[in-house]
Structure formats: structure tokens, C-alpha cells
A and B are shown apart, each in its own frame.
Chain A
Amino acid sequence: MLIAQSLEKRYSTGGRELVVLRDVSFEVAAGEFVAVVGPSGSGKTTLLGLLAGLDLPTRGRVVLDGVSLRFLSEDDRARLRREKVGFVFQSFQLLPSLTALENVQVPLELRGESDASSRAGELLERVGLADRAGHFPAQLSGGEQQRVALARAFVHRPRILFADEPTGNLDSETGDAVAELLAELNRELGTTLVLVTHEDLVARRARRILRLADGRLVSDSAGAA
């Protein structure tokens, strides 16, 4: 489903070259639930960005569902995401001027699908927010916002879902509920799940844990789940 091959990422800031990732390689099978963990600054988010095609590696390659990202343009990568990828962010990233329902509709609408509204409604119901459909993000609690984000991530039935610290901005109880929901959806829909977190509780739900330190992959082990 997902292949990372000898990934390296360098940034130059203020005239200094900074190596964020070095020689990271692994494969993820379809339907797998993988957690990427590591201390802050270890390169987790950068890796996620590369895997989802938000950015290109300095060296190495990413193959997503059989498509090598290296030769795709920015827009082609965007089209690939809209077909096959779902996203959950630490800071939810709901569009502030769209209602909960409208936010969930966006991925479908970007694909030009016609029954965006009813499908989005189903997903909102699935995450338990049917009665909040008309609310704007600012009117929802953090946990509710992240549940809307989950609904949005799954609404177009992505083949793979990337989650970046999805519980990082939530209290532990709410975070736990969100993590549980994420795992449920992964199971129900068979979506491959790659989750970046530094919270052990969340990581333990994964079937496999990749550990990063200083930009290197230092361990690849089975999770508790």
C-alpha cells in the first residue's frame, strides 16, 4: 500500500543545512494501522508530509498505492490525495467559515460528487454529531471538532489515512475517545492508517509502531493491538 524507500529530507534555513530525515525505509500493507512515534523534533511530521505527498523528499522515493510520487506534479499529487488519502490534523484544520456538515462535504465536492450532503450527513451521524451539523467550528468543542475532522477524513472512503497527532490538542479523556473512534473506523472501513503521535496510549492501539529518533528509523515493532 505504501512504500518508503531511503527517504532523506534536508532543509536549509538561515544558510545552515538541516537534515531532518535520513535513510528511512519501510513498507505498510493495505489495512494496516501503523503508529509513528518519537520525541519532538525527531522528524515524525516531516515523514508524514512526505508519505502523503505534501512535500517531496530530497532523496529516496515514496510509492502510494502503486504510484510513485516522485514524478507527479503538485496538482497530480493533490488529485491522488483527493482520490485515495484522508487527513486528520493535530489542530483539526476545519475551515472556520464552513459548518460541520459543509466541512465534511469538501473532499466529495472537490471530486465533483453529487450526493456530497447525504454522505457527509451519514459520516457525521457515525461520529455522533448529527445534531451539530449546522454549527460552525468555533461553536464546537475541541473533541467535537476533531470528530468532524474524522468524518471529513473518511467521507470519501480513502484507501489510506494519515493522522498527525490527532489527540495532541485534546484532554486525555476526549483524546482517548477520538483515538478509539479512529481505530473503529479503520477496522470498519478497512482503511490503511498511518498515525503520528508521541502519546503511548494512542500508539498502543496500533498493530505496528515505527520509532524515529534524530531523523532515523530506530525500531519497527508490533504494537499492543
Chain B
Amino acid sequence: MSSRGLAAVAALAWRESRFARRHLALLLGAVGLGVGALVAVAGFRAQLARAIEDGARTLLGADATISSREPFGPRTSALLDSLRASGAEVARTTSFASMALAPADGRTRLARVRAVEPGFPFYGLVETDPPDAWASLQQGRNAVLDPGLLTALGVQPGDSVALGQARFVVRGSLVKVPGDAEIASAFAPRIYVPARYLDETGLVGFGSRVEYEAALRLPSRGSAEALERTHTRNLRVEHASVRTAEEAQSQLTESLGRLGSYMALVGSLALVLGGIGVGSATAAYVSRKWESIATLRCLGATSGQVLAVYVLQAAALGAAGAGLGVALGFAAQRVLTRLVASFLPVDVSPGLDLSAAAAGLAIGLWAALAFALLPILGVRRVSPLRALRRRLEPSAAEGKDPWRWAGWAAVAVSTALFFLLEAGSLKLAAIFGGGAVAALGLLALLAWGARRTLAGLPRNRLPFPIRQGLASLHRPGSQIRVVVPALGLGVFLLATVLLVRHNLLIPIRPAAGGSRADLVVWDVQDDQAEGVGAVLAARGLPLLQKAPIVPMRIGSIERATPGDEASSSARRGRASGWAVRREYRSTFRDSLVGSERVVEGRWWSPAGTAPGGGEAAANTEEGAAGADTYPVSMEQDVAGELGVRVGDRITWDVQGVPVETRVASLRSVEWARFEPNFFAVFPPGALAGAPRSWVVLTRAANPRASAALQSALVRRFPNVSVLDLTVIQQALDEVLDRVATIIRFLAAFSLGAGFVVLLGAVSASRLERLREAVLLKTLGATRGQVATALVVEYLTQGTLAALAGIALGVAAAWGLSRWLFEVPFEAPLPALVALGGLTALLAAAIGAGAGWSAYRGTPMEALREE
């Protein structure tokens, strides 16, 4: 096409769209919402990447850290000394969980104690309120606390807080600690104290889970990598590990990258919905243009020219919608940044990102063109004869057209590529894209079925307005097939979020009047166990469970090779490092507890746990079991990580003493229950004499009894820690609420796009409505009857969409609960009814409100408009 020809076509495209622009503006909204969601996410991701890049060293507060679950051994200490000698700065931090107590009124709260040496952090600033609190920390027995902890203990700056035997003066509260996400303090609020007073607390004793970390400022850049390269193996012997700032950065980039992908995928649904809206509205628009197209063909327009007119219109629409979307996206990015901020260990600026804007424009243009393409392709085949005969058989434009297949292929391939681009991984794109397509397919199927059912339903006895409203759903040009999937998908997303959140909270929900534990007392030393029992008894509280805990590590694994050397070595190859190296906190008992069951092998009977004998040995080749071999029961997932099966031998290192075991059974464990569970369970005889601590479960039933017990326990046994179910509940509730808010925010774009599609559908059937208006009014229908019919029409569509979306949401949340989160599932009816009802009512209000304009005027006006 010559440039003059192109200009003429462009002018024609512009003029030709003149009276449709008001309706097309809706499509702008459909594209704009989708692009907005994507630009918001993309802009946020770009700023996040920048923040991580800029703040790499503040993530650790150091160039590198060396950390261990045990006090640093001689090699590690020697390394730190030599580093110090070569000019490096070292600041050690010792962290552990402990009860903080307000001596004034005895209030307690489980806290994360961090005893730091001066100098930490080397990079970044700890922000506090008042601002000088951090600087004064090291000047005496001072403490800086999370604001939540201040509230829980009821203390203020100047008050004192007890940790074990020591007391500290509160200097202020934490505002921002480099490298820490704010949300982390929801579960265990932090309390910083100077390291030199740590011993005075008397808390770092046997059995407590302590983390030792040395933060390093190295004299030159690059020496962190050298340090890691040279010493990793050496330090591993002492169960210590090196982490560099670059590593921390790349790990954070990776995990946040995944978070970004999930957000982008939720956002991309809005765009696909918008695209579907564009497609359906374009189809309605083009079908109204057939006569104009036929006239143009009579006047000599080629199919290419006609196609160009409508492609240009779609492109202009896409560009305008994308532009709107970019503006919307920038605004949404600010909200998103604020919503996600508490999950991030870095400060993310809400600033604009030009590449995200450019990508948004391109994607919006693509969505408009790709989804409008199929209906537009039909214009090539509109016969000029249509100008002579208005009611020409439609087959002229709808006959078999090989280009339609190409069009479908282009839409499918480009949509798949789009999902791949947003997901960043083929698997995620396949799962998410496939799931979205399947959900849309199911919704479309339901709409189709509903339309068929409605058509066949006997309606004779229904009052006229209801009959009319239902009939509208299956008349030619009814948009139910688009409206139900578009609205349903948004409802589906929201219902899934609602249900998953609800079900994640079930396992820790206290059963009313039940007997489940709500307090876990741990770090109870062997000589304190009886005393703790006495405190409970004195208060009339039940001792629900009392389990010994023995820390240990895996010394070696010997896999049985029943004639299958290959499988054994394959399993060895699969064994993952963390499972082999980690510290195991195991227990011993002779029976199973309620949260576990044996899935393979057999549990030992109380009598059969002597070394070398018992049922474990009886299960395997009797002679192979040595005289000092005990059975052990492993949790099935960790067994998989270790690559061990029933019959394999594991030698445990129990504080220097080797204990030989043979895997007698594998258990499945409900980890989500508020009870102590164990990877490895031994029979009672196996760990006799090994140093142990105890964990005790009780039920206080009400907050006052709970607080009084915690206070009494901590005053008498300062090293004992108490986990309070209600605190965990509140924390989890808060975290889930924030996560749900983020997802809801993004899902709202999809629901919004769904409603835009609904509006588009109303507008698409405007002509039919005008004809109907003339007829109904001529026949004497009242305004009330017409309004009722409209409400029935859209209420039905909204209800169908809501029911279908909720049904899909229930299915998805059930699957997620069962297989991903492994928690029981239930559907909270009132919340779902509220979601469904609101959707249906909103659909009725929007649909009927928009459709009403066609009926408002007199029959004459309607005739004239036609």
C-alpha cells in the first residue's frame, strides 16, 4: 500500500470509528486494566532488583558472615583471629529464642534475642525510635526491641526487661534493620542486647537452639569470595558455613524473582480477560459494520484495505488502552510497593521504570491486536452483495477460512509466549497458563450449558419480566458465553485466596472446648521437668504431652542393597546436603502420637526395643543387625531427602557418642498441627543416658491463665521458653492477611476486567435492545417490567459466574490444601456466600444500569436511533 493509500485508509479508519468510540472506550478499560496490573508488577520488580543490587552488602550488614548452630570450633576461631590480624573487622552475633519478661508486672513474650558486638552492622543503618537508641546500645546493659515486643511487655524506653538472669534497660524500638524483613518480627519479635552481657543471662546453656554468627568487614572487595573458596570445606567440619553478600544477594534475587513471577502471572490474567473482552466486543462491533464493509467493497475497496481499516482501529485502541494502562500501572505500583514492603529486607523505591512502561505499551498493543484479529479476519470475507441485500445469509463471512486457523494459532502461540515471558519458567508458565485456560474453558462450557438449558426450560408459567429476562440469555447475540467466564475467573481468584487463607489458619485454630494444647513449653532441662510439671499441677493445668529432646547429627548412612547396587547408589546421589548436615532434634518413645502414622515398615512394640532384637530387626535379615543396632522411625519426606528406605542403616552422632540404627519404619507427619513433631523417633532404650531437654504441652484455655502461667514459669525457670498458640495465630493471621491483600489487589484487576467485559457485552447488544425497546413499549410493557427483565438477565449471569467461580475456587483451594499445604480443608460458607452475592448484585446493577439507557426513552427515540 502506498503512503497516500495508507493515509487514506488511516483517515477512513478514524472516521469510520466515529460513533463507536464511546463503546470502544470500554475496551480501552479492558486493555488498560490488564496492562496496568502488569506494569505495576514489572515496575515493582525492576525497582526491587535495583534495590537488591544497590543494597547487596546491607543485606548481611557485612561482606560475608560465618555462621553455625554450635559455638565456633577451634578452626573457625583461628580463622577469625587470622582475619582480624589481616585487617578485617569482626562483629559476632549470638541469637536464640527466649522469654523476655517485664519485671514490673510479670508480662512475658517469646522473643528472638540477638546479642551483638560493637560495629554491627558494618553496612547499612539500624533505624530506631528514638534515633540515637542504636548508638547507645553498647554503652551499658541496654536493649533495643521490636515495637511489637514493647507493646506485648507493656514497657517503654527507660523501663527494664529481663532476659534470663540479666536485666536490660530499654533504649528504644526498632524501625528498620538492614537485611531483615519487617514481617519476620511477627512470629518472633527481636530484642538486641550487647554481646558482652550475654553470659549474665545464663540462657546459652545446653539444649537451647542458638545461632552463632560472625559478621566480617574485609579489607578488600573480592576477598569474600576467596574466603568462601578457601575455607568452606574446612569450616564444614565444624558445622560452620560462609555466606557472602553476593550470595545473599543472588539468593534474594532468586526467591523474590519467583515472588515477582507469581505476581506477574496473577496480573497477566487481567490482561487475558481484557483480551477476551476485546475479542468479543470486536466481534459485536464488526458484525454491526458488515453493511458498511459491503458498501466499501462495492465502491472498490480491496479486502486488504478493509482489513487495514479495522486492524488500524484495533491498533489505535490497543495503543490508547496501553497508554492508559501504563498510567494506571504507575499508580498501582505505588500501592503494590507499600503492600509488599513488609516482606522485603530492602527498601524499594516506588519510582517509575521506563522499560516496564515500554513493555506495557507493547503488551497492550499485542493484546488488542491478537484478540481482535479473529473477528477482524472475518471482514475480508464480507460479500459486497450484502449492500444490495440486507438480510443476506451470513455464511459469506463465516464460511471456512484457512486464515482463521492461522489466527487461532497466532493467538494461542502468542498467549503461550506471553505467559512464558511473565512466568520466567516453562513449568510455571505451563501450570499457570494451563490452569487459567482450563478454568476459562470450564467456565465457558458452563455458560454454554446454561444457555442450552435455559433455551429448553419451560417458562410458560413464569411472570413476563422473568421470562423475558431469561429469554434474553439465549437470544442471538447474547453475551453470556463471554460474561460468565470473564466474571467467573475473577471470582475464582478471589475465592481461592479466601479459602486458602481460611484453611491455613484451621490447624492452629483452638477447638472450642477442645483439649488441644495451646502452650508449648520447651528448653526444659532434665532437672527442671518435674518442677515445670509441679507449676502446671499447682494451677490445675493439664500436662498433655511431655517429650524428651536429644540433639544429634547424622554420622553415616549405609544403604541396604538388596540385589540392586544401582538403586542404592542412585539414592546416595539424590541425598540432599542439608538433610545430611543438619542438626536433628529427636525424641524417643514407645508409641505413636496423634499427628503421625506409619506408612511403611512397622512400629516397635514397647517390649521389642532392645538393641539387636525387636521387630525392626525381625523385619529385615535377622543376622545382618548388629548387637548394638536400634530401630529408628524416620519421617517420610526427610527419608526421601536422605535417600534412605526401611532397612537402611544410619549411624547417629549423639554428642560424640555413635548410635547405630536401622530404619524400621517411615511415618507421615501432620506438621501443621500445633504439637512437637520429629524427623527421627527412637525407641526409649536407644538414647538412655544421652543429655536431653524436654518439651511440655499444656492447655491454658484463656488468655489470663496463659499469661499467668508464662509469667510463673519464666520467673522460676528463666531459661524455659513458652510458645503461645494465640500469639502464633495472631502472627500467622497477620502474615496471611498481608499476603492475601497483595493477591487480592492484583486479582481485583481481573475482576475489574471482568466487569468491563460485562459492560462491553451490554453495549454490544445495544442494537438488539433498541429493537426490543420499540417492540416492548409498543406492546405496552411498563418501565417496571422492562427493568425487572433486565435485572433478571444480569442477576442470572452474575449468579452463574459467581457460583462457577466459587466452585472452581473450592476445587483449587482443596487441591492446594491437600497437596501443597497439607492441611485439612473446609469451606467457610458465609464468606463465600458474601463473595458470590456481592458479585451477582454488582453484575445486576452494572448490567441493568447500562442496559437501561436503551429502554429509557420513548419508542420514537429508539426508532430514530436505529
Contacts and interface: CB of A to CB of B under 8 A. Distances in A.
Interface of A: 13, 45, 48-49, 52, 54-55, 74-75, 78-83, 85, 87, 89-91, 93-99, 102, 106-107, 109-112, 114, 116, 152, 164
A91 B294 CA distance: 13
A95 B300 contact: no
Contact of A87 (B298, B302, B304, B305): B298
Contact of A97 (B2, B18, B299, B301): B18
B2 to A, nearest CB: 6
Contact of A114 (B4, B15, B19, B296): B4
Most A CB atoms within 10 A — which of B2, B4, B302, B303?
B302
Contacts of B291: 93
B478 interface: no
A90 B5 CA distance: 29
B305 to A, nearest CB: 6
17 contacts: A52-B384, A54-B298, A54-B383, A54-B387, A78-B301, A78-B384, A87-B298, A90-B388, A97-B15, A97-B20, A98-B15, A98-B16, A106-B299, A107-B300, A109-B11, A109-B12, A112-B2
Contact of B303 (A13, A78, A97): A78
Nearest to A48: B388
Interface string B260-299: 0000000000000000000000000000000110111111
Nearest to A95: B292
Contacts of A13: 393
Given A78-B301, A110-B305, A97 B19 contact: yes
Given A54-B384, A97-B18, A78 B302 contact: yes
B287 to A, nearest CB: 15
B388 A112 contact: no
Contacts of A52: 298, 384
Interface string B17-33: 11110000000000000
B19 A111 contact: no
B387 A93 contact: yes
Contacts of A95: 15-16, 292, 295-296
A97 B387 CA distance: 16
B848 to A, nearest CB: 28
Given A91-B390, A97-B17, A97-B19, A78 B385 contact: no
B18 A110 contact: no
Given A45-B388, A93-B295, A81 B300 contact: yes
Contacts of A164: 388
A80 B301 CA distance: 10
Most B CB atoms within 10 A — which of A106, A152, A164?
A106
A52 B250 CA distance: 71
Most B CB atoms within 10 A — which of A93, A96, A99?
A93
Contacts of B412: none
A80 to B, nearest CB: 8
A45 B392 CA distance: 12
A58 B295 CA distance: 23
B301 A110 contact: yes
Contacts of B292: 95-97
Contacts of B5: 112
B385 A55 contact: yes
A107 B299 contact: yes
Most A CB atoms within 10 A — which of B18, B298, B304, B385?
B298
A83 B16 contact: no
B300 A112 contact: no
Most A CB atoms within 10 A — which of B8, B16, B292?
B8
B389 interface: yes
Contact of B16 (A55, A75, A97, A116): A97
Contacts of B17: 97
Nearest to B12: A109
Given A97-B18, A110-B8, A114-B4, A75 B302 contact: yes
A109 B11 CA distance: 9
A79 B393 CA distance: 25
Interface string B133-154: 0000000000000000000000
Given A55-B383, A107-B299, 11 more contacts: A49-B384, A54-B388, A78-B301, A89-B387, A90-B388, A93-B387, A95-B15, A96-B292, A109-B11, A110-B299, A164-B388
The 10 closest A-B pairs by CB, nearest first: A82-B300, A97-B18, A109-B8, A81-B300, A54-B384, A93-B295, A112-B5, A75-B302, A112-B4, A87-B298
Nearest to A53: B384
Contact of A96 (B19, B299, B302, B385): B19
B16 A74 contact: no
Contacts of B389: 45
A116 B11 CA distance: 12
A93 B292 CA distance: 7
A110 B20 CA distance: 22
A87 B389 CA distance: 14
Contacts of A90: 388
Most A CB atoms within 10 A — which of B4, B300, B305?
B300
Contacts of B303: 74-75, 78
B565 to A, nearest CB: 72
Contacts of A112: 2, 4-5, 8
A213 to B, nearest CB: 20
A102 B302 contact: no
Contacts of A94: 295
B688 to A, nearest CB: 93
B12 A106 contact: yes
A97 B293 CA distance: 12
A112 to B, nearest CB: 4
B395 to A, nearest CB: 10
Contacts of B393: 13
Interface in B359-395: 383-385, 387-390, 393
A78 B300 contact: yes
Nearest to B393: A13
B295 to A, nearest CB: 4
A182 B292 CA distance: 23
A49 B385 CA distance: 7
Given A13-B393, A54-B384, A110-B8, A87 B299 contact: yes
Nearest to A97: B18
Nearest to B295: A93
Contacts of B305: 110
Nearest to A155: B299
Contacts of A87: 298-299, 387
Most B CB atoms within 10 A — which of A48, A98, A116?
A98
Contact of A110 (B15, B16, B300, B385): B300
B18 to A, nearest CB: 4
A94 B213 CA distance: 82
A85 B300 CA distance: 8
B298 A81 contact: yes
Contacts of B296: 95, 106, 110
Most B CB atoms within 10 A — which of A78, A99, A116?
A78
Contacts of B18: 97-98
A139 to B, nearest CB: 11
